[in-house]
Structure 1
Amino acid sequence: MTTILIVDDDELFRTMLEAMLRKEGHQVLSAVNGSEALALLESQSPDLIMTDILMPDGDGIELITALNQQQRDIPIVAMSGGRRTISLEFNLESAALMGVKATLPKPFTRDSLRQVLADALQG
């Protein structure tokens, strides 16, 4: 069973994604921001991390940077819906430049989620 850590400050979205992943047979951990995710990673070792980019108290870019500095070899999927002043394309391109395994624009379909997870977990 694959364990996936979801990092997203939007409670409704996080709950929906948790349900989708559990229905697909995954074990799910969750954190509301990058700081909470880093604390959780001290005791947990997920197979994959799915992180939003824009969050208060430790955004996705800070989380990706910290994981790169720690040389943690956990595949990361960056997600973003953008904001008024920053486009989702900019957010996802920034994450891709930092070496994430995949990017996923919000909103997304169950099929695109399955494909991104398959690609990211391939190695």
Structure 2
Amino acid sequence: MKILVIDDDIAVLKYLRAILKHNGFNVLTADNGHKAFELLSKNQDVTIVITDIIMPEQEGIEIIRKIKSKHPHIKIVAISGGGKMSSESYLQLAYAAGANATLKKPFGDRELLNTLHHL
């Protein structure tokens, strides 16, 4: 199974890539929405996207909407540690935009893997 992880925090990208690869997933990473859509256009076999909500250049909510309109079969997990609003508020917006699941940062390995297995 191929997963695309989108987060502007390089430490978060490395952490998620390590967990996912260790558990047998094929992982692509992007630090912004523009790179993510380039990767999606070249990798039609991506089945899950994990995206942060608060990012410069392109917000996660916009990314979720675009993915759902162009690739409705892709499952999306939105992650957020909050910002101007609480992380719960951002994650509710993510559900409204089309996310299939959400995780509040910080989350652990088991929580992430359980979320992916229940998609």
Q: Same fold (TM over 0.5)?
A: yes
Matched residues, number: 118
- TM-score, normalised to structure 2, is 0.94
Cα distance per residue 1:59-115 (max 9 Å; x no partner): 2111111122224310000000112x2210111000011221100111101111111
Cα distance per residue 1:2-47 (max 9 Å; x no partner): 1110000000111011001011111100101112111211111211
Once residues 58 and 38 of structure 2 are traced to their aligned partners in structure 1, the CA distance between those partners, rounded to angstroms, is: 11
Aligned AA (1:67): I
Residues 65, 98 of structure 2: 8 Å contact kept: no
5+ residue gaps, structure 1: none
**Aligned CA-pair RMSD:** 1.1
State whether structure 2 residue 25 is matched by structure 1 residue 26.
yes
Residues 35, 63 of structure 1: 8 Å contact kept: no
5+ residue gaps, structure 2: none
Alignment match, 1:70:
70
- TM-score, normalised to structure 1, is 0.91
Regions of 4+ moved over 6 Å: none
Residues 68, 74 of structure 2: 8 Å contact kept: no
